Amino acid sequence: MPDRPERRRLPTGEADAGKPRILITGFGRFPGAPSNPSGFFARKLARSRRVHDARLDVRVLPTSWDEAARFPSMLDRIDPDIVLMIGLAARRPQVCVELIGRNATGMFPDANRRRPAARRLAKGGADTYACAASPAPLLHALRQSGVPARVSRDAGRYVCNALAFSAYGWARRTGQHRLAVFVHIPLPHAGVLSAARLERGLEAVLAALLAEHRSSRLTGVAER
């Protein structure tokens, strides 16, 4: 049976109406990764005390091409101010902030053993979209948390890249101070890449995104 997305939306009230909405995504298993820590960290961020002044919507998505195709509709429906996507890159020794989403697919099968229907994600669409957030503060946040980090210009050709391409393009089209970034994490292990340290680093990324969002809104108000 195909995996289904796991949803977690924290309760909101009238007092939350003016707070930024954040969509955090992680993934479930896929061939070669029977356990995917990105979903674990997405759920952990939902309980972070550093984001008490925001509305959180957390989704642990099946690693499937069909789910990636539905992601733009999810963005339209949730209408987030900030999108933080987390994926697993088990062979990378550092956390990677993905600078580019490419309009391209690979032939690696998804969690349902299906392959993409076409070589391009969006027929007639742009070849690439750039990350819709400033990478430097995100790298600084990670490194200050003791997490080795770098920027990456290659998000792969898998479902991770499909989400990055969709979210980066969506943020650019809709504007209004929206931010979107995809972060690849390695497998946690003892030492500098322990689960606890990765969690702190991702919390710091989220705090940096919130700070950039607030700054952009204040700048926009001042320019009116």
Active site residue 131: no
Helix (H) or strand (E) holding 38: helix 37-45
Q: How far, in Å, are 40, 66, 121, 155, 177 from residue 124 at the CA level?
A: 36, 19, 9, 21, 26
Q: Torsion angle of alpha carbons 35, 38, 39, 43, nearest 10°?
A: 140
177 Ramachandran zone, left/alpha/beta (phi>0; psi -120 to 50): left
Q: Which residue of the set 88, 99, 149, 160 is catalytic?
A: 160
- The catalytic residues are 160
